[in-house]
Amino acid sequence: MNTFGTLFRLTDFGESHGDAIGGVIDGMPSGIQLDLDAIDAFLKRRRPGGRLASPRKEDDKVRFLSGIFEGRTLGTPIAFMIENTDQRSKDYGELRNTYRPNHADYTYEAKYGIRDYRGGGRASARETAVRVVGGALAAQVLGNSGIKVEAYPLQIGMVEIHSMSDMEAAEKAILDAKAGRDTLGGIVGCTVKGVPAGVGEPVFGKLQAMLASAMMSINAAKGFDYGDGFAAAGMRGSESVDAFYVEDGRVHTRSNHSGGIQGGISNGEDITFRVAFKPIATMPRALETVTDELESTELTVGGRHDVCVVPRAVPVVEAMAAMTILDALMIAGKLR
Amino acid sequence: MNTFGTLFRLTDFGESHGDAIGGVIDGMPSGIQLDLDAIDAFLKRRRPGGRLASPRKEDDKVRFLSGIFEGRTLGTPIAFMIENTDQRSKDYGELRNTYRPNHADYTYEAKYGIRDYRGGGRASARETAVRVVGGALAAQVLGNSGIKVEAYPLQIGMVEIHSMSDMEAAEKAILDAKAGRDTLGGIVGCTVKGVPAGVGEPVFGKLQAMLASAMMSINAAKGFDYGDGFAAAGMRGSESVDAFYVEDGRVHTRSNHSGGIQGGISNGEDITFRVAFKPIATMPRALETVTDELESTELTVGGRHDVCVVPRAVPVVEAMAAMTILDALMIAGKLR
Amino acid sequence: MNTFGTLFRLTDFGESHGDAIGGVIDGMPSGIQLDLDAIDAFLKRRRPGGRLASPRKEDDKVRFLSGIFEGRTLGTPIAFMIENTDQRSKDYGELRNTYRPNHADYTYEAKYGIRDYRGGGRASARETAVRVVGGALAAQVLGNSGIKVEAYPLQIGMVEIHSMSDMEAAEKAILDAKAGRDTLGGIVGCTVKGVPAGVGEPVFGKLQAMLASAMMSINAAKGFDYGDGFAAAGMRGSESVDAFYVEDGRVHTRSNHSGGIQGGISNGEDITFRVAFKPIATMPRALETVTDELESTELTVGGRHDVCVVPRAVPVVEAMAAMTILDALMIAGKLR
Amino acid sequence: MNTFGTLFRLTDFGESHGDAIGGVIDGMPSGIQLDLDAIDAFLKRRRPGGRLASPRKEDDKVRFLSGIFEGRTLGTPIAFMIENTDQRSKDYGELRNTYRPNHADYTYEAKYGIRDYRGGGRASARETAVRVVGGALAAQVLGNSGIKVEAYPLQIGMVEIHSMSDMEAAEKAILDAKAGRDTLGGIVGCTVKGVPAGVGEPVFGKLQAMLASAMMSINAAKGFDYGDGFAAAGMRGSESVDAFYVEDGRVHTRSNHSGGIQGGISNGEDITFRVAFKPIATMPRALETVTDELESTELTVGGRHDVCVVPRAVPVVEAMAAMTILDALMIAGKLR
């Protein structure tokens, strides 16, 4: 199932080293004047490059194929593609018959009996560029309704990030890990402001269930929580009450342990959640593994790789959140 | 959306103090000899009562209405209902116009403009009995294929549970909280054994995304992680490698940081995940809140309530896991 | 897949001679004051009995289990059941091992390897009572928005029905067929008034595709067309133009060859379509068939059966149309 | 909703005069060696050109973007695009503000408040090329399982087609209509051979409901029936019995009034159905209409247009049937 969403839907395609990656957005509201520069800027945030990221050059030049007329959305499907230009598939030849540990090579083979071994194929994080395009479009619609989604790094390796000096410590941790031929995990936080009360569906369609599904579909994500999250497990009920009060003619809560969602439905406060990521699976070390003929071997993967997924995961989390919130608004009939 | 699943689907209905709760299971494999006692036993595990749980008497007597003929499943929808017998709705009269903090009263009102204020209505945890029936049926199908789902308490309040003596400490913590008119949160763990490699779909249909959505749809759940989970955020890549080796003619991993899922697809190892729950929201204390006419007030909720959701959440987590795994097996065409 | 619809959804369950039939309606708008008498009146229209219909006594007493509070809809699932009281399953014993020609006995066995042979089981037309309840609820919502759905007999056997005297001829045709131990087919027409322009989705979600799927899901339906329908195949383009003009400030068409739908989307004119039904498959004649052990045999089916499906199909067509139109309105965001 | 299907799914995009049309096929079985020439040949059958068809030059050159590796399917989404090269949008300038009668111009405007007026935009029959690509892929999978789908003209204008000489009469009828600046409708038939018994779902997912939805989603389709179809309405039950007998160890029917489907499920006989099409809506005549400012006017549409949709609809019906049958096989778990 390569389609995400119910009324606002992204169908996503492409292998890392195939002709192109891309997607089709169905359910885009009509008549929206698109800001294509904003889409490019969003994409640029997840682009590889820079000291902390993979040196693979990706232009990530988006070509829109349909659904836009004279700069405005038609309400019909918006298809787009990003050509895979800098593929260097020769780097990956040694992976034809060997499964990289911690990757999807073996499970894809088990599922399909065939895989595109070049750069992870369909399982490559390159696919997240497609999500960012979808999220950028969703964010524009949300912005028109006064809703703002923002993701940010909360933790890189063991470094918790509360300030700019923490960012410097985090950057140092990344460089240290790189020097040690190792990789790091981390945590991304996200806040959504401006969602009206009443968005989300009871029982199975709870807003946190939609968000959890969206976030756990991102490569390398290992955990999701919202509001107090896992910390709530160790709290007392009396410590986690969000008392109601009235201000400006509407109901508010004095605290936000609930993370803006109660009973699966938004309560008008900020929606807050976190996504945990594991360390990047690819590192320049010899690792024990097996071939597709079930023979033991060792593998050292070369190529260009990130040390920590967090910096590039931030826009992906933000994009997935934007699409999820927009879809939930449309399902609830609350998109103004 | 009160339907869960794609090929194995549970449609769930009912308010806490309406006539009945129940569900319709569509996609049940045909020809399965049902063990109705096992379903009752599963339900009994989440039933209120006992020192640690709400004294509400619920017989939870399931009546099957369709889809079963001479003890075997027909492949047609299995509808079932549980009458609401011990409703005591007089306990709830004072809630007609006042929103309980931390509950769904306000958000339901915001969404629907109307709510059944008796006992939480649709948002009541009573609804989880329906999930347990669905899970019990799914577990029987899985059992026939050698797949076993088991959930267990991992943490109650601040007490981590590794042994029977920890359970005693946890029980004491619950009684202490009760004495202090307070409530506790906790964590439930779950392990699924016997899932073959190749189950789960790439990109948006990753097995962990399906599980996360299922778990985060449970009342009071605040977080989900799998494998190393949130702990992975602080680990180095070299610490979290699951090296591949071959034994008995198939691929295994030497460790299971991945929690049995790689690239969204099962790898044949045990699938492991955790669900964090917040403290029970109802406690016998006066709390600040507002009425539906936006006036400030205080509310002390009486009635019969649990102190910690974990004991009764264990079978609910297990049930949701069973339905999710069965659905994923059917989607992957791997149900034998 | 026993669920119909996207945002307004009916999940339907039950075998003809099981405990009960019923359904769960999800997506019902909240706050609707229900007219339960109107639902009963709708059901009565499809009830067996009377000179022209099967003498099976069915009270079709609907019991609502959830989703309604103090007479109004909550927006949560509305579950309902109709107990199967007059089952006489002894009539059906001889069908345990023999496939009735023209029925679903053989195909259910081929699909599921098991079937409830009593009265057609899941394939019985008794299931359509559930659709009528769903349609009655949908019709109330539509009525509140000024939309009226009406189905009517167009043809019974060879008799086309344009007037009351045609109805008498049709009634005579039914009695003649009954005397000849035979059965008749026919055609039901339907008109939907008051649907605003802009309802229906392009390409695969065309309004006529939704209606066709709904109608062809009714037992014994063999064909569907809308507007000029099959007759359009033999017309010239110049004969089938619906010229546009303006009246009362909105666009109208001078004729309605289009049946109220252009490009899959409503144009504000009356929506018109037809559904063709085959003769009732059960007739008191010895028919050549086989057993489930693949032996040749003859079978004469007793029991109580209709001669022509049209009289009882009229409310079923109307019900399916009401649910389809409501769902399409909700998808299009045009439900006021 | 621009996605068709449940397990085998085509998401379709593109406007007639946008950059490109195309689609994404999700759920394609993996490991299939693709015959790209067969896809081109299928497309060529619906291509404009020739004496009887629109002179618009469309190369319909398909470019595959993903999901294929070394000539075989990966099981991941297969995206493809067809560039719109011969667009001549200058022909369509006069349509910017005027609604063509019998077209979707007005209804798209009513739905979206915006439309691509060039060549029908999203509502153009050009979109059916995408369906043909999807159908060509599905047909290859079906062919590997011994299932063959074949569509053919049954009626063009008033000419019923039983033989080659009928085809000549039909061709003459088309030329006559063209000379009279008029257009014709017609009927396409389709037969599917080799579908095993047991495919199709009870109640709402009946195989005929799936086929009806698929066919009625094709541009200009006005009606669908299967087996005896509308003719069954005028038949007696005793005339329409499909007696069962056994041959070669499996159940057969002596006739096929049922069109290969009983109770919504295939019975192993040939599946037969018909699709009625209205006359082409565009003809070189002045027609009464209105502008988007609600002023009366006359419009004569130039450009290149077909006289009768039947010749080009044949491969489209075949393609939709192939995708529907493959999806139904996959849902039923009967794809071998």
Kindly report, residue by residue over C87-131, the tens digit of the pLDDT: 655 666 778 899 999 999 999 999 999 999 988 899 999 999 999
Cα–Cα dist A60/C304, whole Å: 69
For residue B111, which phi and psi values (nearest 5 degrees)? Answer: -80, -45
pLDDT at D259 over 90: yes
Q: Is A87 helix (H, G, I), strand (E, B) or coil?
A: coil
The per-residue pLDDT for D1 is 85
Alpha-carbon distance of A8 to A80, in angstroms, equals 16
Chain D stretch 113-132, residues whose beta carbon is closer than 8 A to a beta carbon of chain C: 122-123, 127
Strand partners, C253: C244
Strand partners, B188: B153, B275
pLDDT given at position D55: 54
D241: distance to nearest CA of chain B, Å?
27
CA A310 – CA A174 distance, rounded (Å): 11
Residues 44-83 of D with CB under 8 A from C: none
A186 and B233 within 8 Å at the Cβ level: the answer is yes
Contact B112, A200 (CB under 8 A): no
In 3D, which of B249, B314, B313, B305 has the Cα closest to residue B281? Answer: B305
Q: Which residues contact C176 (CB under 8 A, 6 or more apart)?
A: none
Closest to C116 measured CA to CA, from B193, B140, B31, B301: B31
3-state class (DSSP) for residue D91: helix
Q: Do C76 and A333 touch (CB under 8 A)?
A: no
Contacts with A331 from chain C: Cβ below 8 Å: 7
| C288 DSSP β-pair partners | C298
The helix/strand/coil state of D335 is coil
Please give the helix or strand (H or E) that residue C155 lies within, else none: strand C148-156
The nearest CA of chain D is from the CA of C70 a distance in Å of 32
The Cα–Cα gap between A178 and A81 comes to: 33
Quick one: how many helices (H) and strands (E) in chain B? Answer: 6, 18
Distance CA A252, CA A116 (A): 52
Shortest CB distance from C263 goes to which of D107, D259, D267?
D107
Chain A, window 225-244: residues with a beta carbon less than 8 angstroms from a chain B beta carbon:
225-230, 232-244
* ipTM given for this complex: 0.96
The answer to whether D205 contacts chain B (CB < 8 Å) is no
User: Per residue in C144-164, pLDDT tens?
Assistant: 999 999 999 999 999 999 999
D279 to C249: CB separation less than 8 angstroms, yes or no = no
Mean per-residue pLDDT pooled into runs of 10, chain A (336 residues): 96 96 98 96 81 59 96 97 76 83 95 92 94 98 98 97 94 95 97 98 97 98 98 97 96 98 98 98 93 94 84 97 98 91
Option in C3, C31, C115 nearest B26 (CB): C3
- Judge: A2–B205 Cβ closer than 8 Å, yes or no: yes
For D148-170, the pLDDT digits (tens) are 999 999 999 999 999 999 999 99
- The single residue listed with the structure tokens 């003009």 is C245
Of B1, B19, B69, the CB nearest to C66: B19
Residue D140 has pLDDT above 70, yes or no: yes
Rounded to a whole number of angstroms, the distance from the CA of C85 to the nearest CA of chain D is: 22
C181 backbone dihedrals φ, ψ, rounded to 5° = 50, 45
Look at D76 and B333 and tell me if their CB atoms are within 8 Å.
no
Cβ within 8 Å, pair D205-C280:
no
Spell out which residues of chain A touch residue B219, defining contact as CB-CB under 8 Å: 263
With CB atoms and an 8 Å threshold, state whether B112 touches C13: no
Each residue's pLDDT tens digit in chain C (336 positions)? 899 999 999 999 999 999 999 999 999 999 999 999 999 999 999 876 555 555 555 567 999 999 999 999 999 999 999 999 866 556 667 788 999 999 999 999 999 999 999 888 999 999 999 999 999 999 999 999 999 999 999 999 999 999 999 999 999 999 999 999 999 999 999 999 999 999 999 999 999 999 999 999 999 999 999 999 999 999 999 999 999 999 999 999 999 999 999 999 999 999 999 999 999 999 999 999 999 999 999 999 876 688 999 999 999 999 999 999 999 999 999 998
Helix (H, G, I), strand (E, B) or coil at B5: coil
- How far is the C-alpha of A208 from the C-alpha of A222, rounded, in Å? 16
With a cut of 50, list the residues of chain B below it in pLDDT. Answer: none
* CB pair distance less than 8 Å for A206 and B216: yes
Query: What distance in Å separates the CA atoms of residue C96 and residue C77, rounded to the nearest whole number?
Result: 36
Tell me if B111 and A197 make a contact (CB, 8 A cut-off). Answer: yes
Q: Do D241 and C101 touch (CB under 8 A)?
A: yes
3-state secondary structure of D249: coil
**Among C120, C124, C112, C142, which residue's Cα sits nearest to residue C42?**
C142
Contact C307, C174 (CB under 8 A): yes
Q: Are the Cβ atoms of D234 and C202 closer than 8 angstroms?
A: no
pLDDT at D87 (0 to 100): 60
Smallest CA–CA distance, residue D173 to chain B, in Å, is 49
Mutation for testing the D interface, residue in C216, C238, C296 having most D CBs under 10 Å: C216
Chain B residue with minimal CA distance to A218? B203
Count A/D contacts: CB-CB distance under 8 Å. 150
Q: What pTM was computed for the model?
A: 0.96
pLDDT more than 70, % of chain D: 94
Cβ–Cβ < 8 Å for D143, D34: no
B135 touches chain A (CB under 8 A): no
Å between C112 CA and nearest CA of chain B: 6
CB contact (8 A) between residue A79 and residue D78: no
Least Cα distance to B75 among D216, C13, C324 occurs for C13
Q: What is the pLDDT of residue B315?
A: 97
Report CB contact under 8 Å: B15, C111.
Answer: no
Exposure string over B280-302, b if 16+ CB within 10 A, otherwise e: bbbbebebebbeeeeeeeebebe
Q: Which of D14, D19, D66 sits opposite A13 (nearest CB)?
A: D66
CB contacts under 8 A, B 277-336 vs C, are none
pLDDT of residue A237: 97
pLDDT at D56 over 60: no
